[in-house]
Every structure is written in structure tokens, then in C-alpha cells.
């Protein structure tokens, strides 16, 4: 091609981190391609730049930082396509390519200053939607960008980091202090590269340090002095902080380390991984976000939330020279998949034809988590039989277990004869039935998904959920998108719902909403986050409040709850097997008040919830719907209010109120029989 573009060179005025190193190496690789001769790299005055062979470095303007980038750069680049390699770009320019490395500022905001968050949150969505193309450094990062910035995944091009620069480092020129325990004769050491930013998860290494000390292993951390906010004096004795080191120093550390430990909670790419592999250093890495595709089969993978896995991998590596040699060899081969030259060529193709979705690497096959699906049901054997059979025959990701939680075997209908399905029996009540299923899960289960017995999931439901939990290590709960909800009307027939699941499924840019309280007709949770927590069996009625209570308990520990429209399905809203309106009405008041006492629902939301329910029931009692018992609900509302005034309010009392009315299809329902 005949190059006709300019490059945003602001990165040459910034401290070197992974993002700036990416830009420098991409530009260096572009400079080696004849087609870029005469291309201008624009930078603020006073910036330092290497002597390029083909590129022209041009200093201009009087401003610096964001001001230069947002005001002076677009004026200088007027009439030419602009290449931006470091997350940011001028908002007012449309004819540009932008590389967004990650969305960590949105997924891990605590890792950044308030000003940094404000700049990125306000500017990034604006130029991302105006740019002619978005590039990023990994397929995992592409998925995150699509979620957070509402960009279609097909419009994002993956042009990853390279490894060649690490081969140019010279460990013989290292100038590390003699007292640092990394020299011949010292104990083996694990190397970590990163800062004290929360998403770097260095706290995990501090947690396992005493155990590694007992095994005679040190931990050396390069790149940051803020690992422990209390100061270095409080670090374990076998933890040593280097601070920022030169490339040659880093080469020495990688050449002599037992392994690189990379425990990040999220990364756009994870450049130290390929640098370690290029130098023949074994890698132990987190198994989430971009790390699995960068590591491939050339590293030991561990959950960033499970310190015991890290100890096991590191100690196993320390005891096996053969494993060290094997991982070093696999790493040298794996890093060849990531080349600065290839990515630079990709940018040239993209600059020439921005609408061509060029992908320079093939995404590694995702890890296959053990994901269990749970259907709670009562008194609707024909409904649950159709739903579960549809689920088993259509899901692209095969679940590790499917559990139908019942009160009697008859509730499961002909599913009792279905091979590979587990029927569990327990006390009545949606919370009880879910808890029974949780207690029956294999301890190795990674994710548990709960579905109503009248919910038809899209074939990609489990696969999409598994991908979110892998990409987003801090997400503990996920709710899918309900394409159509029959609970709000007379219901949706099975055949119609099955057609809608495929025909009406959302396409293009999808929606990521956060925070979002779980909605139990289709929701999934990370089992490590659940631990001993269980659904509150006192919340015997009213559909989604027990879900909200459960989610709030998880969120208290810092977990994130989201809704992702990539997980889709139709809630049929089957009306058979409903309970009396009086019972439901009682729960509409009692349950929010119970959650208020537990602090799983905020006071203003409790007030809104109760007022809305009572007002809705009172307003419609004179014009009743055929499938909603408004009179019974209002009676239950009043009874709960009176019990509250008398000090005898208890959510479980709803189970003993009223009697089932077969002739009236109420919106309340028994355990597992759908949602309200």
C-alpha cells in the first residue's frame, strides 16, 4: 500500500508501562516497513523520540497532555487518517484508528485515580463510536470492549503485543543491587512484574509468601514500590521489592527466576507473560481474562482467587527440573505467535481498509469450566420435561451437571428416566429447592446456573455465561436478557417460545448493565463466591426478591452483579400451579421489610417496592385481569401491614395463608414454578 496517515506520538512523553511499550514497538516495527516512508509521527514539543529510519518525527504545538491530544493534534492531522496506539484519541476526529488495550478503568475502577477514571469514562465512549475502526490486543479485551462500550464485536480488530524486543535485552548489563537475593547460590525466587494496583492482585503473592518461605522460595517483585500500603517493613521476610528496573535488569531476573508469577485479576494482554516466555522463563498465570489465550498450553494456570492453586503450582515447579525445562520450551514456541512485525502489518492493512476485520492471531480455545444447571420445579412435570429436554438438546456448551430439584419424584415427570440428569428431593420452597441443589453439586463446580422450569434458554446461554466469568474475574453473579416475558400477560406457548429464542435473539452490539440484581428465571453465579452462602428459606414467596437478597449478600463481599444480553431466552410465564393472591400479596410487603432488617435492600428501595405493589393492586382491583388475583393480593398486602404494626410480621407466614384457587391463574407461584 501507499501509506497516507499520521501517528499520535503523545506516548513518547509518557512513562513507559505496557501500553507505551506497545506503542513504541509497533511504531518501531512500522519504521522497518518501506511503505511507511514519509509517514509523520506527531508529538508535543520536548518529547524524546528515537532516530527513525523511514518515519518523520514532528514536534508541534504549545500544549501538552490531554490538551495537546484533544485540541492541537486533530488540527495538525486534519485531512489525514490518524493512528492512535495508547487507549486515547481526539474526540472531534472521526477519520482515525484507535487501539483500546482494555477496559480496566471500567471493570477495576479502584485501580485508578479519580481524574484518570473521569477522563477515560467521558472521552473513551465518544471517540470509540466515531472512529473508523477499533483495534485491541487480545480477543478477551475485544469482548470486554464490546460489552462496556456497546460496540459490535465484529468491528474490533485484534492486533496483539509482540515478543521480539525481549530477545534484544542483555542480562550481562544488569545492575541489580548485590543484596537482592537473585544471584547464584541464593534461594530460588518467583518473579512478579506489576504495581500495587488492585487488579494486579499482588496481595495474593503476599498471602502465599509464608507458605513459600517454608519451602525455601523467595518472591521478587519488580515494577512498583506500592505493593503494601503499610510499607516494606510489613512485608514477609522472603518478599523483596525492586521498584522499576531497566530492561537488562528484567532480562537478568527472568533468566534466573524459578518462574514468572502473573496473578492479575484482569489484563488486556499481559505483556510480561510473552517476555518471560521469550527468555525461557516458566510462567504461572491467572486463568482469566486474556491470560489463557496468551499462555495457551505453555503455562501453569491458576485462579487468581485461589491462593492454594498458586502454592501447588510453584512448589511442583520447584521440585521438577523436567517441568521447568518443558514449560520453558513450550513458552519459546508459544511466544512466536505474537509478533510486532505481524501486528504492524495488520495496522497498515487496517489503515488502508478500516472496514476489513483483520485478525492477526487465532483466539485460543476457551477454558471449559465445570458449569452446572439447576431447575427447581413443583407440580408441573409436563412443563419442566419440555424445558429441560430443550435445554439439553440445544446448549452449545455441554454442562457438567443438570439437576432438577423437586419435592416428589412425580414433579420431574418422565425426566426421572433421562440419562445424565440428576433428580434431587428436598423441602418445598424455591429457596429450599435451590439450596438442596447447591448442596448436591460437585465441589469442583465452577459456575452454577439457575433456570425457572418455564424458561427456554438460547443455545449460547451457558457458553456466553462461561465466557463472562472467565473474562471478568470479579463478576460473581450474572443475569441474562429476557427476550419476552409471558409472566406479564397470559403466557407464551412452548412452540412459540422455542421459535422466539432463535428468531428474536438479540444481534449486533449487546448491552452490559451494572450493577444489576439477579432475576432468577435465568441467572448464574461463581461457586467460589457462593461458598457456604445459601438462599434465605424465610423468603418463601414472591419470585425475584429471594434472588435479590442472595445477590446482595454476594455483593457485600465486593463481588460484581451484572446483566449481559449475550445470555438470552424466553420466559414462558406458565400460569398453572400458581398460589393464592393473598399469599403473594403478603410477601410483597413482608419480604422487602425482612430484607431491610438484613440490610440486603436499601430503605428507599423497600419503600418504593411496597408502595408500588400496593398501589398497583389497589388501582386494578376493580378491573381484574384474568391471570392476576388483585383482590387476593391487596388482602395479603393489608394483612402484612397489620402484622407489621402488631410486631408479628414474618415472611414465612405467607406459606400458611389462603388456599390454592385452581380457577384463578395468579402471578405468585410455588417453589420452582417460574418467576413473578
For the cut 70, the answer to whether the pLDDT of residue 259 exceeds it is yes
Output the pLDDT for position 321: 97
Residues in Cβ contact with 265 at an 8 Å cutoff, skipping those fewer than 6 apart: 108, 198, 199, 200, 201, 286, 288, 289, 304, 473, 474
Query: Which pLDDT tens digit goes with each residue over 487-539?
Result: 878 899 999 999 999 886 555 568 899 999 998 899 999 999 999 999 999 99
Output the pLDDT for position 127: 86
Using pLDDT thresholds of 50, 70 and 90, give the confidence band for residue 665: very low
Output the pLDDT for position 201: 94
Query: Which pLDDT tens digit goes with each residue over 43-96?
Result: 999 888 889 999 999 999 999 998 999 999 999 999 999 999 999 999 999 899
Does residue 7 or residue 663 have the better pLDDT? 7
Domain 5-162 carries which CATH code? 3.40.50.2000
Kindly report the CA angle at 51 between 48 and 55, in degrees rounded to 5? 100
For the cut 90, the answer to whether the pLDDT of residue 234 exceeds it is no
Query: Which pLDDT tens digit goes with each residue over 350-377?
Result: 998 877 655 545 555 556 789 999 999 9
Using pLDDT thresholds of 50, 70 and 90, give the confidence band for residue 108: confident
User: CATH topology of 5-162 equal to that of 165-337?
Assistant: yes
Tell me whether the omega of the peptide bond preceding residue 115 falls within 30 degrees of 0, making it cis. Answer: no
Using pLDDT thresholds of 50, 70 and 90, give the confidence band for residue 239: very high
Query: Which pLDDT tens digit goes with each residue over 8-55?
Result: 999 999 888 889 999 999 999 999 999 999 999 999 998 888 899 999
E strand map for 486-553: 512-513, 522-526
Output the pLDDT for position 658: 66
Does residue 621 or residue 330 have the better pLDDT? 330
User: Three-state SS for 41?
Assistant: strand
Query: Which pLDDT tens digit goes with each residue over 543-595?
Result: 678 999 999 999 988 889 999 999 999 999 987 655 678 988 999 999 999 99
Architecture (CATH level 2) of domain 165-337? 3-Layer(aba) Sandwich (3.40)
Mean pLDDT of the chain: 89
Domain ranges of the chain: 5-162, 165-337, 371-571, 581-656
Residues in Cβ contact with 544 at an 8 Å cutoff, skipping those fewer than 6 apart: 517, 518, 519, 520, 675, 676
Output the pLDDT for position 332: 98
Q: What H or E segment, with its residue span, contains residue 308?
A: helix 307-319
Cβ pair 242, 176 in contact under 8 A: yes
Closest CA to 342 of 33, 34, 24: 33
Does residue 455 or residue 178 have the better pLDDT? 455
Cα 109 to the center of its chain, rounded Å: 14
170-178, Cβ contacts within 8 angstroms, sequence gap of 24 or more: 170/248, 170/251, 171/248, 171/251, 171/252, 171/255, 172/248, 173/248, 174/246, 174/248, 174/249, 174/251, 174/252, 175/246, 175/248, 175/249, 176/242, 176/245, 176/249, 176/252, 176/253
Output the pLDDT for position 307: 96
Q: What is the DSSP string of 146-201?
A: HHHHT--GGGEEE----SGGGGG--GGG----TTSS-STTSPPEEEEE--S-GGG-
Q: What is the DSSP string of 607-669?
A: HHHHHHHHHHHHHHTTS--TT--HHHHHHHHHHHHHHHHHT---GGGGGGSS---TTS--S--
For the cut 70, the answer to whether the pLDDT of residue 247 exceeds it is yes
Q: Note the pTM of the prediction, 2 decimals.
A: 0.84
Using pLDDT thresholds of 50, 70 and 90, give the confidence band for residue 152: confident
CA distances for 227 relative to 55, 111, 674, angstroms: 39, 12, 48
User: Three-state SS for 488?
Assistant: helix
Query: Which pLDDT tens digit goes with each residue over 160-194?
Result: 999 999 999 999 999 999 889 998 788 999 999 98
Output the pLDDT for position 118: 84
Using pLDDT thresholds of 50, 70 and 90, give the confidence band for residue 121: confident
CATH 3.40.50.300, domain 371-571, yes or no: no
User: Three-state SS for 352?
Assistant: helix
Q: What percent of the chain has pLDDT over 90?
A: 71
Give the Cα separation of 485 and 488 in Å (integer): 6
- Which range (423-427, 532-536, 656-660) has the least confidence? 656-660
Amino acid at each position: 500500500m501507499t501509506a497516507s496517515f499520521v501517528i499520535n506520538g503523545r506516548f513518547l512523553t509518557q512513562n513507559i508501562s505496557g501500553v507505551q511499550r506497545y506503542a513504541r514497538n509497533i511504531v518501531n516495527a512500522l519504521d522497518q516497513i518501506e511503505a511507511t516512508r514519509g509517514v509523520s509521527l506527531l508529538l508535543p514539543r520536548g518529547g524524546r523520540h528515537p532516530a527513525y529510519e523511514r518515519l518523520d518525527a514532528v514536534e508541534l504545538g504549545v500544549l501538552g497532555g490531554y490538551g495537546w491530544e484533544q485540541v492541537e493534534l486533530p488540527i495538525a492531522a486534519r485531512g489525514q487518517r490518524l493512528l492512535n496506539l495508547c487507549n486515547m484519541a481526539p474526540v472531534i476526529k472521526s477519520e482515525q484508528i484507535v487501539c483500546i488495550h482494555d477496559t480496566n478503568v471500567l471493570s477495576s475502577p479502584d485501580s485508578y485515580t479519580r481524574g484518570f477514571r473521569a477522563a477515560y469514562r467521558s472521552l473513551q465512549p465518544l471517540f470509540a463510536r466515531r472512529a473508523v475502526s477499533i483495534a485491541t490486543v487480545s480477543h478477551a479485551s475485544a469482548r470486554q470492549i464490546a460489552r462496556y462500550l456497546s460496540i459490535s464485536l465484529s468491528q474490533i480488530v485484534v492486533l496483539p503485543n509482540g515478543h521480539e524486543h525481549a530477545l534484544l535485552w542483555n542480562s550481562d548489563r544488569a545492575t541489580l543491587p548485590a543484596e537482592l537475593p537473585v544471584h547464584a547460590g541464593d534461594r530460588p525466587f518467583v518473579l512478579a512484574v506489576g504495581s500495587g494496583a488492585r487488579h494486579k492482585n499482588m496481595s495474593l503473592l503476599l498471602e502465599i509468601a509464608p507458605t513459600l518461605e517454608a519451602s525455601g522460595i523467595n518472591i521478587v517483585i519488580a515494577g512498583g514500590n506500592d505493593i503494601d500500603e503499610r510499607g516494606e517493613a510489613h512485608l514477609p521476610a522472603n518478599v523483596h521489592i525492586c521498584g522499576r528496573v531497566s530492561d537488562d535488569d528484567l532480562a537478568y531476573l527472568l533468566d534466573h527466576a524459578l518462574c514468572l508469577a502473573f496473578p492479575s485479576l484482569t489484563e488486556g494482554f499481559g505483556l510480561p507473560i510473552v517476555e518471560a516466555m521469550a527468555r525461557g522463563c516458566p510462567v504461572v498465570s491467572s486463568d482469566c481474562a486474556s491470560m489463557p489465550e496468551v499462555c495457551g498450553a505453555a503455562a501453569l494456570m491458576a485462579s487468581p482467587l485461589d491462593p492454594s492453586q498458586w502454592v501447588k503450582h510453584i512448589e511442583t515447579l520447584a521440585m521438577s527440573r523436567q517441568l521447568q525445562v518443558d514449560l520453558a520450551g513450550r513458552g519459546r514456541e508459544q511466544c512466536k505467535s505474537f509478533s510486532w512485525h505481524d501486528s504492524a502489518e495488520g495496522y497498515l492493512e487496517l489503515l488502508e481498509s478500516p472496514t476489513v476485520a483483520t485478525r492477526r492471531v487465532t483466539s485460543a480455545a476457551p477454558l471449559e469450566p465445570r458449569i452446572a444447571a439447576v431447575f427447581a420445579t413443583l407440580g408441573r412435570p409436563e412443563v419442566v420435561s419440555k424445558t429441560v429436554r430443550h435445554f439439553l438438546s440445544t446448549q452449545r456448551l455441554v454442562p457438567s451437571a443438570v439437576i432438577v430439584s423437586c419435592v416428589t419424584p412425580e414433579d420431574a415427570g418422565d425426566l426421572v428416566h433421562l440419562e445424565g440428569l440428576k433428580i434431587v428431593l428436598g423441602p418445598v420452597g424455591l429457596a429450599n429447592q435451590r439450596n438442596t441443589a447447591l448442596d448436591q453439586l460437585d465441589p469442583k463446580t465452577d459456575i452454577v446456573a439457575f433456570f425457572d422450569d418455564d424458561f427456554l434458554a438460547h443455545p449460547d446461554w451457558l457458553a456466553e455465561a462461561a465466557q463472562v466469568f472467565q473474562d471478568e474475574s470479579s463478576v460473581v453473579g450474572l443475569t441474562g436478557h429476557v427476550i419476552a416475558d409471558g409472566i406479564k400477560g397470559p403466557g407464551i406457548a412452548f412452540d412459540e417460545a422455542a421459535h422466539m429464542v432463535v428468531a428474536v435473539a438479540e444481534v449486533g452490539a449487546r448491552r452490559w448493565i451494572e450493577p444489576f440484581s439477579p432475576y432468577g428465571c435465568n441467572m448464574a453465579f461463581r461457586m467460589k463466591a457462593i461458598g457456604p452462602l445459601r438462599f434465605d428459606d424465610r423468603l418463601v414467596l414472591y419470585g425475584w426478591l429471594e434472588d435479590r437478597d442472595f445477590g446482595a449478600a454476594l455483593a457485600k463481599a465486593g463481588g460484581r452483579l451484572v446483566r449481559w444480553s449475550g445470555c438470552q431466552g424466553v420466559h414462558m410465564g406458565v400460569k398453572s400451579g400458581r398460589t393464592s393472591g393473598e399469599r403473594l400479596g403478603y410477601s410483597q410487603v413482608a419480604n422487602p421489610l425482612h430484607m431491610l432488617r438484613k440490610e440486603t435492600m436499601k430503605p428507599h428501595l423497600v419503600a418504593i417496592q411496597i408502595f408500588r405493589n400496593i398501589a398497583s393492586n389497589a388501582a386494578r382491583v376493580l378491573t381484574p385481569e384474568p391471570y392476576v388475583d388483585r383482590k387476593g393480593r391487596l388482602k395479603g398486602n393489608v394483612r402484612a401491614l397489620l402484622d407489621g404494626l402488631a410486631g408479628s410480621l414474618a415472611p414465612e407466614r405467607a406459606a400458611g395463608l389462603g388456599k390454592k384457587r385452581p380457577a384463578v391463574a395468579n402471578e405468585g407461584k410455588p417453589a420452582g414454578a417460574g418467576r413473578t
